[in-house]
């Protein structure tokens, strides 16, 4: 029996933009989508906590091979902070560990603090995170009351804008690099304001070039599938290469495509000088390549052709 025969479900390929609701984990949402679409294979592209909502691209079938590139993508968030209260998790699900009075801030003062975080910054990952230390996820240690030293990580804040300031409520939008912990950013903003803060609301608005306005809600998806069957979602799927549409595109000749599919680096005229590229053959996306130091293109992640 072949591997494909052993797999259960439909051979569904593409990217579904899901608007994950509050109250369910990213993996929980993924499993619901996989079941609704009766898909053989699925993976998400970066966790959102149960407290958070918003854009969760779900890769299906051959598109799962592109998941890692979306994990590395920039992201936009809308964030609401509760000023004057610090929790042990950095969000509203944690226990209160400190409170301070909240001064009356001007928008100018808050904007100045927000602007101070733009650029490359170092963040210490929160204990309540999935980062592993000595093979153990930090959150498991945190649940045991264990706090360990964590190395700072360099991330980049591309932009941050004040949305609302009202009493002890502060809302902002942030465009940040992969690996940014918004909870940590909120705590650091609160510390710089002198009153402390934790995240009370979080919504992801963009991942790479994908936008929340193009996403489908879980309840809406469930209703459509109940009414019309799992195939109804196939029309919502984006091709796998949409995850990479800001990358250079290379169109391969018959001979060049043949050798590249055998795993061999190839010479392609007018190639970029470095970096990752999208590869096409007869107009069809066949995967990701990387420019080597000698100018050849090496296959890095190929997808099955239809």
**pLDDT above 90: residue 270:** no
| Cα-based distances in Å from 303 to 5, 12, 292 | 19, 13, 20
How far is it, in rounded angstroms, from Cα 119 to Cα 127? 24
pLDDT digits (tens, 9 = 90+) for 51-72: 999 999 999 999 999 888 888 8
User: Binning pLDDT at 50, 70 and 90, where does residue 143 land?
Assistant: low
d(CA 8, CA 13): 14
Percent of the chain with pLDDT over 90: 72
pLDDT at site 140: 65
User: pLDDT category, 45, cuts 50, 70, 90?
Assistant: confident
Q: Where are the alpha helices (DSSP H) in 166-294?
A: 182-193, 218-228, 254-261
DSSP for 267-303 reads --TT--SSEEEEEEETTEEEEEEEE-TTSPEEEEEE-
Q: What is the mean pLDDT of residues 262-277?
A: 90
Count of alpha carbons within 13 Å of 209, Cβ hemisphere only? 9
pLDDT band (50, 70, 90) for residue 243: confident
Mean pLDDT of 78-84: 98
Q: Average pLDDT over the chain, rounded to whole?
A: 90
| Strand residues in 74-152 grouped as ranges (E) | 75-83, 85-87, 96-99, 119-123, 132-133, 136-137
- Span 82-89, mean pLDDT? 94
Q: Which residue has the tokens 């944690």?
A: 94
pTM of the model: 0.89
Structure confidence at residue 136 as a pLDDT band (50, 70, 90): low
| Confidence grade of residue 241 (pLDDT, cut at 50, 70, 90) | very high
- Alpha-carbon distance 275 to 262, whole Å? 21
**pLDDT higher than 90, residue 203:** yes
d(CA 63, CA 279): 14
pLDDT tens-digit readout, 87-100? 988 999 888 999 99
pLDDT per residue over 164-175, tens digit each? Answer: 999 999 999 999
Q: Which residues pair with 121 in a beta bridge?
A: 155
> 182-193 and 107-115 helices cross at what angle (nearest 10)?
130
Q: Give the Cα separation of 108 and 236 in Å (integer).
A: 43
CA quadruple 50, 138, 191, 117: dihedral sign: negative
Q: Rounded mean pLDDT of 243-248?
A: 88
Residue 4 predicted with pLDDT over 60: no
Asked if 301 and 287 touch (Cβ cutoff 8 Å), the reply is: yes
Point out the residues that are catalytic: 49
Question: Is 77 in contact with 173 (CB distance < 8 Å)?
Answer: yes
pLDDT reported for residue 1: 40
Cite the beta strand spans of 167-209 per DSSP E.
169-176, 197-207
Q: Pairing state of beta strands 119-123 and 169-176?
A: unpaired
- Judged against a pLDDT cut of 90, whether residue 6 lies above it is answered with no
Model pLDDT, residue 190: 97
Q: What is the mean pLDDT of residues 191-215?
A: 96
CA 19 – CA 89 distance, rounded (Å): 24
Q: Residue 60: beta bridge partners? A: 14, 42
- The torsion angles phi and psi of 234, rounded to 5 degrees, stand at -60, -30
pLDDT for res 154: 93
What are the backbone angles phi and psi of residue 250, rounded to the nearest 5°?
Answer: -125, 130
Which 3 state secondary structure label does DSSP give 1? coil
């Amino acid at each position: 029996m072949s591997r494909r025969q052993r797999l259960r479900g439909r051979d569904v390929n593409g990217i579904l933009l899901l608007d994950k609701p509050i109250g369910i984990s990213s993996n929980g949402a993924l499993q619901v989508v996989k079941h609704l679409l009766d898909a053989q294979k699925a993976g998400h592209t970066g966790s959102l906590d149960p407290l958070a909502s918003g854009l969760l691209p779900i890769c299906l079938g051959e598109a799962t091979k592109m998941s890692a590139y979306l994990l590395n993508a920039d992201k936009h968030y809308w964030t609401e902070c509760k000023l004057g209260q610090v929790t042990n998790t950095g969000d509203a699900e944690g226990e209160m560990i400190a409170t301070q009075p909240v001064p009356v801030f001007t928008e100018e003062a808050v904007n100045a603090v927000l602007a101070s975080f733009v650029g490359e910054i170092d963040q210490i990952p929160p204990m309540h995170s999935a980062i592993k230390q000595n093979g153990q996820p930090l959150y498991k240690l945190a649940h045991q009351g264990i706090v360990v030293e964590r190395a700072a990580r360099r991330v980049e804040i591309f932009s941050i804008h004040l949305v609302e300031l009202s009493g002890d409520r502060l809302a902002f939008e942030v465009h940040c690099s992969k690996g940014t912990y918004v909870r940590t950013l909120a705590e650091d903003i609160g510390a710089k304001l002198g009153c402390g803060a934790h995240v009370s609301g979080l919504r992801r608005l963009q991942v790479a070039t994908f936008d929340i306005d193009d996403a489908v809600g879980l309840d809406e998806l469930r209703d459509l599938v109940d009414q019309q069957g799992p195939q109804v979602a196939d029309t919502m799927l984006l091709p796998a290469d949409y995850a990479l549409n800001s990358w250079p595109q290379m169109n391969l000749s018959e001979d060049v495509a043949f050798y590249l599919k055998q795993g061999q680096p190839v010479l392609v005229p007018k190639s970029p000088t470095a970096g990752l590229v999208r590869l096409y053959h007869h107009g069809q996306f066949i995967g990701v390549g990387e420019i080597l130091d000698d100018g050849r293109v090496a296959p890095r992640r190929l997808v099955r052709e239809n």
